[in-house]
Amino acid sequence: MEILFFIAMMLVVVVLQAITPYVIRRGESFGVMVGEKAANDPALRKMKRQFLNWNLIVGGLVTVFAAILLLVSTSENAQATILISAILIVIILSLLIYVRFYKASLAWKKANLQVASDKANIVMVDTTFHRQKLTISYAWYLIPLALIFITIGLTVIYYDQIPSMIPMQYNFDNEVTREAAKNYRTVMMMPMMQIVMLGLFLFINYMMSRSKQVIDNDNPTASMRRNVLFRYIYSKFNLIMGTLLIALFMVIQLSFIFSIPQIFITVMLILVLVIIFGGLIFLMVRVGQGGSRLKLEEDTQADTTKPIRDDDANWKLGVFYFNRQDPAVFVEKRFGVGWTINMARPAAWLSFVAIIAVIVIIIIIFS
């Protein structure tokens, strides 16, 4: 069972890394802005195929090697180390592969688009963008909030029925590997994690609604429409993910009180992971970053060609956004799907530090 979980997890990680160039905005190539029309150049498309192949080969080799180590390893600590190391190695190697193609894209842009010599740098902004319905209503989060109240309420009501030892850690087979004595601090670990999780998903929903708009100069009308749909679709998926995870934690908590078969929890865990990761891959392929893969009626309209926006200098290695002149705190990723922060804004760092601090405090309290 451990091997199957490991292979499935590595498959998800490797595939997500490999397909990234195909789900980013059409006008970008490995973190470099080239415009939607230039993105169809055979040289840039060949880079994407090479990135895909290299990631699949490297990821496959790491997975096989780590699987062999897992088979010969008997220590749980060693197995956990192998799992974490394998994922980190795949991510680091994929990053090194990415840097190679990032530099190649920069060189291609300099040789073919001559943006630098033109000194043209037009940024399109729609002042009505944030007045549109970009995310779902926060009222929908009353559903996971109700699940948290049910979890806490049943825990308090049936506190005496909870066993004297509380499971604190599980292995890949969903078997308990560490327990703690029952008290209000240990029994409230799951509800506290639910609350933190709800706060995190609410923050993500807020970030979607407030992040900076990105409009492609080549096709601004369709680009803006895609961006609106992209945020609304991912806002729905964000609610689904949060609700499923909070429901999973509720069932685990109730298993301390009621007789819930272990197989039910295992099946639910697998279903939740399949829905979340399967849904994420599906949305990446069908929607893409900024909705770049959505088909719209506006695609048939002929927008006037504009000079390519040249803000690559603000994107360090094409992934880290640092722009003191930009008041935006949250921005869409240039390589990948989702959002990142403007590292030149103190508010962005404070948000990041606050999230880390909450996680560390929770770990200290319940360790």
Confidence (pTM):
0.80
Identity at 80, one-letter amino acid code: A
Burial class (CB in 10 A: 0-12, 13-18, 19+), 367: exposed
Q: What SS3 state is found at 167?
A: strand
**DSSP 8-state symbol, 258:** S
What CA–CA distances, in Å, run from 341 to 15, 122, 322? 25, 22, 9
For residue 61, what pLDDT is reported?
Answer: 95
Identity at 295, one-letter amino acid code: K
Q: Which region, left, alpha or beta, applies to residue 43 given φ > 0 means left and ψ of -120 to 50 means alpha? A: alpha
317 and 99 Cβ atoms separated by less than 8 Å:
yes
110 phi, psi to nearest 5 deg: -65, -35
In the predicted model, what is the mean pLDDT of the chain? 85
Q: Which region, left, alpha or beta, applies to residue 163 given φ > 0 means left and ψ of -120 to 50 means alpha? A: beta
- Which of 10, 51, 58, 5 is closest to 318 using CA atoms? 51
pLDDT digits (tens, 9 = 90+) for 168-192: 777 666 677 777 888 888 888 899 9
For residue 271, what pLDDT is reported?
Answer: 93
How far apart (Å, rounded) are the C-alpha atoms in residues 222 and 230? Answer: 12
What CA–CA distances, in Å, run from 226 to 101, 186, 296, 336? 27, 46, 8, 16
Q: Which two tokens stand for residue 208?
A: 């979607």
15: number of Cβ within 10 Å = 17
For residue 101, what pLDDT is reported?
Answer: 95
297 and 304 Cβ atoms separated by less than 8 Å:
no
- Which of 39, 4, 95 is closest to 308 using CA atoms? 39
* pLDDT beneath 50: ranges in the chain: 116-119
For residue 327, what pLDDT is reported?
Answer: 85
Strands 339-341 and 330-332: antiparallel
pLDDT digits (tens, 9 = 90+) for 57-84: 999 999 999 999 888 887 777 878 888 8
Delimit the domains of the chain by residue range.
1-113, 126-296+304-309
22: number of Cβ within 10 Å = 17
Q: Which two tokens stand for residue 129?
A: 């963008």
For residue 217, what pLDDT is reported?
Answer: 66
For residue 308, what pLDDT is reported?
Answer: 64
